[in-house]
């Protein structure tokens, strides 16, 4: 299980397991809750924290002659003291649900596979390497189901000057026009676009059609 949330008053519960990808609706529901995370204490400084793959798990691995990825060791680095601890040391501690925000009517919980007593960190790390090697779809599935996290698509922004430089003059409209509307009619082989310029009293001062 990765994410689930519940309403306290109505006893309504929604569960997201590790066999499907997270939907936008489920993420919004979780973010609208107190967002509790399952945390384990650092075996060295005893600070509670959620286990993380990125910047958390430190592993050693190699690729065999047959192409198989073999992870020989995996430890977790504490976000507070920075000391590494073994999987056995971390999972031996007494965990707790820690809320990240306040909410009056809904509790939401998140736990990933790294905290599971039936999961091996070396196998999780191996699954991560395999997913990266097999492509975006496999990696997205791993992030959603094993880590219980949303898949974030990185998009490059467009600079304001670059966008302004690509402007093109289309047409000029009379000064009486206050509002411009456009209607599109989809044909079998084309789009027909009609643009109208409206002025006071719903009068049309401009009308042009592109085919």
The model's pLDDT over 140-153, given as tens digits with 9 standing for 90+, comes to: 999 999 998 888 77
Give 195: exposed, middle or buried? Use CB within 10 Å, 0-12, 13-18, 19+.
middle
Task: Kindly tell me if the per-residue pLDDT of 2 is higher than 50.
Answer: no
Mean pLDDT of all residues in 95-110:
86
Four-residue CA torsion sign, 203, 205, 210, 211: positive
pLDDT band, residue 196 (cuts 50/70/90): confident
Residue 120 is predicted with a pLDDT of 96
Residue 21 is predicted with a pLDDT of 56
Task: Kindly tell me if the per-residue pLDDT of 180 is higher than 90.
Answer: no
What is the pTM (predicted TM-score) of this model? 0.64
Helical residues (DSSP H) of 51-180, grouped into ranges = 87-92, 121-134, 136-145, 160-165
Cβ neighbours of residue 14 closer than 8 Å, sequence gap 6 or more: 4, 5, 6, 26, 29
Report the run of H or E that residue 24 belongs to, with start and end: helix 24-31
């Amino acid at each position: 299980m990765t994410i689930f949330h519940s309403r306290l008053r109505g006893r309504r519960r929604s569960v997201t397991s590790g066999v499907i990808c997270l939907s936008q609706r489920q993420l919004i529901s979780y973010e609208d809750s107190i967002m509790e995370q399952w945390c384990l204490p650092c075996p060295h400084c005893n600070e509670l924290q959620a286990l993380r793959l990125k910047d958390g798990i430190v592993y050693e691995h190699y690729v065999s002659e047959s192409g198989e990825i073999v992870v020989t060791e995996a430890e977790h680095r504490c976000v507070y003291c920075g000391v590494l601890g073994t999987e056995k040391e971390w999972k031996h501690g007494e965990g707790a649900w820690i809320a990240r925000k306040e909410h009056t009517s809904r509790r939401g919980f998140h736990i990933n596979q790294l905290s599971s007593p039936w999961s091996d960190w070396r196998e999780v790390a191996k699954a991560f390497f395999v997913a990266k090697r097999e492509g975006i779809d496999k990696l997205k599935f791993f992030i959603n189901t094993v880590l219980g996290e949303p898949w974030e698509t990185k998009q490059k922004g467009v600079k304001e000057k670059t966008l302004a430089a690509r402007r093109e003059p289309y047409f000029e409209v009379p000064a009486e026009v206050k509002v411009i509307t456009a209607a599109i009619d989809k044909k079998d082989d084309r789009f027909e676009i009609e643009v109208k310029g409206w002025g006071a009293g719903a009068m049309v001062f401009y009308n042009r059609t592109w085919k």
